[in-house]
Amino acid sequence: ACDVFNQLVHIARKIGDPVLERAVDFVLADEITHVRMGSKWLTKLTEGDAERRRRAIEFQENIDERFNLGGVRREGDHDAVSISIATDVRRLAGFT
């Protein structure tokens, strides 16, 4: 979701719609917080249990693959790909 919302902020900025840009940026900020909390809880709840952590990460990867929008999400500039992977936003959310 972070990638999609980040792309929508870029699109709103590009078309000159400040209301849409601010609205989606607000939703993106909420999603960053949501993802950060989920990552912290995943770490805490799987602490000391490598198998549980492996299964949780496998589940996350499975979900990520299902919601990859047919593979259109890729690394690259906002204007070069349909949905760019938002590495800066992901970093804010606690991804490494």
Encode pLDDT of 10-54 as tens digits: 999 999 999 999 999 999 999 999 999 998 999 999 999 999 999
pTM for this prediction: 0.75
Q: How confident is the model at residue 66 (pLDDT cuts 50, 70, 90)?
A: confident
Distances (CA, A) of 49 to 9, 45, 52, 63: 39, 9, 5, 21
Task: Quote the mean pLDDT of the chain.
Answer: 88
Q: Select the more confidently predicted residue: 96 or 8.
A: 8
Q: Domain residues of the chain, as ranges?
A: 2-92
| CA–CA gap between residue 48 and residue 68 (Å, rounded) | 30
